[in-house]
Structure 1
Amino acid sequence: MELTELVYFTTIAQTGNMSRAAKKLQVSQPALSVAVRKLERDLNMQLFVRANNSIILNAAGKKAVVFAENILSQVSEMRHFFRTYGERNTAASLAFTDPGPYRLVLPFFQQKCTQTKISSLLLYADNEVGPTLEEQKADAVICLSLPRKNKKDFESISVAKEGLYLAVPKNHPLAKRKYIRLDKEKNLDLAVLSEGGAYAQYLVPFWEKFSKRHKITIYKDYESFKQAAQQNPQQALVLSRLARRYYQEDYGRILMPINDKGLSVLYYLVYLKKNAECLYPILHWAKTRENKLLNVVRPYANM
């Protein structure tokens, strides 16, 4: 039994006439007759009563047409499912709550997951993560924290490490240090690059605390920050780990990590459990490959 036979059979049953069925299907009447005879042989049952110019279902034919229509409906549903399934698995939308991972992680995923078309959305704070995922504005969000509501519906995996670096002139008293703690120093003149987003919000209390020990000037955009660095080559600069990697400049200074407690954080890829399937290429890479943004090698994980 073939699907074509079922299509021909149901069309003849609906039209009640071979010539109208042939015209609707755009096939010849002999082709229809052959298909019907093959179906009747397969079922070992006559399905029609033929009279003059009409062809009418008999009792067995009425039963057969119900089965045939159900089969064709399931075939259509199956085709639709796998067509949309394929579309889901070749496209994904990522949202970001920070410009740092947006600039670095997005192209990194686009490079590694070449078979998935990745679109992007930039959010402003971590409290937008839950609504963004639940309202299906994005398939996953890279952020600093999990949504507080409906936690059981979400999963996450760390994808990037973030922290701060201090850049000082080569003749600066701190230039030979391997790292520094701002809470152990005094009277530093600091130019801070803070381009907005969740990490910038996270650091606000730290800058308020450090401002009691240091002179701090915060720059909201990179061009102003870079211009200030050029105009005052003796000033110490502060920028994030991901910003340093993205802009790839040393500003004529020595760079060292700032190791104050609480400044280093992890970015997480957060997604609804039900969306894991469409994120498979991204999750497969993130869980099984060396993640140079995070500086770890993950063990192989079964997906």
Structure 2
Amino acid sequence: MIELYVLNELAAFPKYGTLTAVAEKMNVSQPALSRSMKKLEEDLGIQLFERGKNRIILNENGKIAAEYAQKVIDAETAFEKKVIEYEQTHRIFSFASIAPMPISELTPILSQQFIGMTVKSELKDNEKELYKSLDSGKSKLVVTLAPPKNTEKYAAVKLFTENLFIVLPKNHRLAEKDKISLKDLAGEKILIYSKLGFWYETTKKLIPNVEFFDQQEMSALRQLAKLTELPSFVTNFTIQNVCEMKDKKAVPISDSEVNVTFWCVCLKKNANQLATIFSQIRAIYGE
């Protein structure tokens, strides 16, 4: 039986031309490459190379053999890809979201529905990447900031609304306001979690001259929020954390860009597979 690595070496000859070049590209010694090509000729009973002094090149038989070797390699690559895709399709449920809270809320729902499957999530910061992931089949479900425009291709269900608040010391200049806009925070130094999806760039864009103190771990951010007077963000889903900080106040932010409704979107051809999930979402969130 001919080993695949030998076919890989043979298929490299049309591209690189010489024994020296092929050996270098395939990371093998020239004597080892020469021996494996000689063994291949013996196994096939066909001469594949013209050999001269310090020279070895493919003959016509060799060119045809190299062409078919490449086809075998391509078939092996396709075989591996398809088997992995099948495994992922039947053992892994992948979804992606524009923000972290939908991931936290949906993961247990999906895990309960797809027992025996691994639920994997990915955070994206723009909807173009979400739809790319959905269209390619990498994600079976995505969470967006708006329902899809192409209702012939996509199916969707409303998830929930999330509203942004700024946590301020009670002696802060804005703490007595009933509501503020992001531009009111101009020039502030703000603690922020770095893995926020769309929230991060949106707030940074809408607050003039803001200085973010990025935190990679949520636990570290919460600790700093308690111990310092630096403002930080919460939403209606995490506002309970402010109850632990008696000297702080959460003020709602009025900008429409940070008071958002999330939508779960799937390919319409897969809607039947997610019908139960969509029904559960409607029942839980009542949107």
TM interval, short-chain normalised: 0.5 to 0.7
Change (3 A) 1:279 1:240: same
- Any idea what the Cα deviations from partners look like across 1:60-79, whole Å, max 9, x if unmatched? xxxxxxxxxxxxxxxxxxxx
Change (3 A) 1:106 1:249: farther
Structure number with larger C-alpha Rg = 1
Q: What are structure 2's unaligned runs of at least 5 residues?
A: 1-88
Identical aligned residues as a percent: 21
Once residues 160 and 144 of structure 1 are traced to their aligned partners in structure 2, the CA distance between those partners, rounded to angstroms, is 10
Once residues 98 and 183 of structure 1 are traced to their aligned partners in structure 2, the CA distance between those partners, rounded to angstroms, is 22
2:259 equivalent among 258, 264, 278: 264
Match of 1:132 in 2: 133
Amino acid at match of 2:269: K
Once residues 120 and 201 of structure 1 are traced to their aligned partners in structure 2, the CA distance between those partners, rounded to angstroms, is 24
Q: Does 1:95 align with 2:96?
A: yes
| 1:282 CA displacement | 0.8
**Aligned residues of 2:167 and 2:231 also touching (Cα < 8 A):** yes
Amino acid at match of 2:221: F
Corresponding residue SS for 1:179: coil
2:277 equivalent among 275, 282, 291: 282
Superposition RMSD on alpha carbons, in Å?
A: 3.5
TM-score of the two chains, using structure 1 as the length reference: 0.53
2:114 equivalent among 97, 113, 116: 116
Change (3 A) 1:160 1:120: farther
Match of 1:69 in 2: none
Corresponding residue SS for 2:221: helix
**Aligned residues of 1:95 and 1:123 also touching (Cα < 8 A):** yes
Q: Does 1:238 align with 2:233?
A: yes
Change (3 A) 1:282 1:92: farther
What are the equivalent positions in structure 2 for 1:52-91 lying under 5 Å apart? none
Once residues 186 and 95 of structure 1 are traced to their aligned partners in structure 2, the CA distance between those partners, rounded to angstroms, is 32
**Aligned residues of 2:92 and 2:120 also touching (Cα < 8 A):** no
Match of 2:153 in 1: 153
Change (3 A) 1:179 1:152: same
**Aligned residues of 2:157 and 2:265 also touching (Cα < 8 A):** yes
Once residues 199 and 187 of structure 2 are traced to their aligned partners in structure 1, the CA distance between those partners, rounded to angstroms, is 24
1:225 equivalent among 221, 228, 232: 221
- Any idea what the Cα deviations from partners look like across 1:225-248, whole Å, max 9, x if unmatched? 33432442x222223444x26x84
Amino acid at match of 1:127: K
Match of 1:81 in 2: none
| 1:137 CA displacement | 2.3
| 1:276 CA displacement | 1.0
Amino acid at match of 1:226: R
TM-score of the two chains, using structure 2 as the length reference: 0.55
Change (3 A) 1:260 1:135: closer
Q: Does 1:198 align with 2:193?
A: no
| 1:261 CA displacement | 3.8
Change (3 A) 1:259 1:238: same
**Aligned residues of 1:193 and 1:220 also touching (Cα < 8 A):** yes
Once residues 167 and 223 of structure 1 are traced to their aligned partners in structure 2, the CA distance between those partners, rounded to angstroms, is 16
1:255 equivalent among 240, 250, 268: 250
- Any idea what the Cα deviations from partners look like across 1:178-233, whole Å, max 9, x if unmatched? 322233466644333342423323434213xx32xxx532414224433432442x
| 1:277 CA displacement | 0.9
| 1:269 CA displacement | 0.3
**Aligned residues of 1:179 and 1:259 also touching (Cα < 8 A):** yes
Amino acid at match of 2:164: L
Give aligned pairs, total. Answer: 194
**Aligned residues of 1:91 and 1:278 also touching (Cα < 8 A):** no
Change (3 A) 1:203 1:147: farther
**Aligned residues of 1:129 and 1:141 also touching (Cα < 8 A):** yes
Q: What are structure 1's unaligned runs of at least 5 residues?
A: 1-86, 292-296, 299-303
Match of 1:18 in 2: none
Amino acid at match of 2:198: A
Change (3 A) 1:172 1:283: same
